[in-house]
Amino acid sequence: DQQVKQNSPSLSVQEGRISILNCDYTNSMFDYFLWYKKYPAEGPTFLISISSIKDKNEDGRFTVFLNKSAKHLSLHIVPSQPGDSAVYFCAASGAFGQGAQKLVFGQGTRLTINP
């Protein structure tokens, strides 16, 4: 049961253009969403997040959009830079009645920025 899905395993974008990474979720109990970036041989690093009470959050070149009715979020990177080449994971969390705030991750999208 894949509650968070990233349907594009890979994405290739020209340097300087916009990169758009997509994520869909099925569980309406999710109320907080995060994007992580992962380089080979390193752990995921936090990039940007959004609460379900917002529909947009911006941090420098990175913007996350949330469409709750469609259960869809996207990450926009503009302008894309070669250092952005990595695997990007979408993650979701919510109050499931447990003490732990677990993250449910998508499968990841490998982004390649071409010079």
Q: Which residues bind other proteins (CB under 8 A)?
A: 4, 6, 9, 32, 34, 36, 41-46, 49, 89, 91, 93, 98-108
Q: Which is nearer to other proteins, 18 or 29 (CB)?
A: 29
Q: Which is nearer to other proteins, 79 or 94 (CB)?
A: 94
User: Could you please report the per-residue DSSP string of the chain?
Assistant: --SEE---SEEEEETTS-EEEEEEE--TTEEEEEEEEE-TTS--EEEEEEETT-SEEEETTEEEEEETTTTEEEEEESS--GGG-EEEEEEEEE--SSS----EE---EEEEEE-
Q: Which is nearer to other proteins, 3 or 18 (CB)?
A: 3
Q: What is the dihedral of CA 72, 60, 105, 44, to 10 degrees?
A: 170
Taking the complex as a whole, the smallest distance from the CB of residue 107 to other proteins amounts, in Å, to: 5
Taking the complex as a whole, the smallest distance from the CB of residue 57 to other proteins amounts, in Å, to: 13
Q: Which is nearer to other proteins, 57 or 79 (CB)?
A: 57
